[in-house]
Amino acid sequence: MKVVLFCGGQGMRLRDYSETVPKPMVPVGNRPILWHVMKYYAQYGHTDFILALGHRAAAIKEFFLSYEEAVSNDFVLRSGGSDKELITSDIDDWTITFVDTGIHTEIGQRLNKVRSYLDGEEMFLANYADGVTDLDLNAYIDTFSATGRVGGLLAVRPPQSYHVVTMDDDEPSQIGPISGANLWLNGGYFVFRPQIFDYLDRHIDLADGAFSEMIEEGNLYAHRFDGFWSPMDTFKDKQHLDSIFDSGTVPWLLHKNGR
């Protein structure tokens, strides 16, 4: 399946980085978070990507145009450097379509602007470019496909360490960790049928527009997931992901874990 990735965010809560690089280019370990998201999909055989670009689109284009596999992978050098043999490779089998979709564009509009690149697809994948997971993607797609619905999203538990306060008028009646509350977040990792564009003809946004109508019509599926999922919305999130990467056991990079 083709994979649409929304790469237009400005990353205001990552201001230390967003002044110089777009949010999808903020590194986790030695590669941008965008690469990690793409690598996750590639591990399941989905290597045809459409990047819906916005803020600092040129930086994302330049990264891939100047991508040197030998810098990130093991290789053998012979004949004084004229013969280079890669032992491992990252992106040699990836197809990447770069589409400028505007700087101040809602997610639904970004998806609509890449519509022509999805002609003929019975289903396709879409996602934000800043969250990683160890979700069994094949099982998720199979479950969604069987529902016959137009769209699916990943419903995840809030990862933050906040506490939820239950109020009775102006008096708190209960307080507890947000992880223990019956709350689910939109974690991205969407699966869509082409009929999603019928909704986007009427709504400029996805979550705050098209999804509301889809819910009323019973056409949105939420896949509950209690496994590993982490966004990179804040600098604290970045530090968390860096620490996971440095540990050597990286949940979203299946090949590192023998999966």
Mean pLDDT of the chain: 86
Residue 258, pLDDT score: 42
- Alpha-carbon gap, residue 48 to 144, rounded angstroms: 20
Which pLDDT belongs to residue 195? 96
Domain boundaries, the chain: 2-153+184-257
pLDDT for 259 beyond 50 = no
Helices (H), 33-170: 33-43, 57-65, 69-72, 107-113, 137-147
Mean pLDDT computed over 196-203 = 93
Give residue 19's pLDDT.
65
Predicted local distance difference test score (pLDDT) of residue 51: 97
* C-alpha span between 195 and 123 (Å, rounded): 10
Confidence band, pLDDT 50/70/90 cuts, at residue 20 = low
Contact 4, 50 (CB under 8 A): yes
Torsion of CA 21, 26, 72, 99, to 10 degrees: -60
For 2-153+184-257, CATH gives 3.90.550.10
pLDDT value of position 236: 85
pTM for this prediction:
0.87
pLDDT score recorded for residue 174: 74
Percent of the chain with pLDDT over 90: 53
User: Per-residue pLDDT averaged across 15-28, rounded?
Assistant: 76
pLDDT in tens, 52-104: 998 888 999 998 988 776 566 666 777 766 666 766 667 778 999 999 999 88
Q: What is the pLDDT of residue 67?
A: 78
pLDDT at 210: 93
Residue 256: pLDDT over 60 = no
Buried b (16+ CB within 10 A) or exposed e, 80-119: eeeeeeeeeebbeebebeebebeeebbbbbbbbbbeeebe
For the chain, what percent of residues have pLDDT higher than 70? 84
Task: Read off the pLDDT of residues 146-192 as tens digits, 9 standing for 90 and up.
Answer: 999 999 999 998 766 667 787 777 777 777 777 667 788 899 999 99
Confidence of residue 232 (pLDDT cuts 50, 70, 90): confident
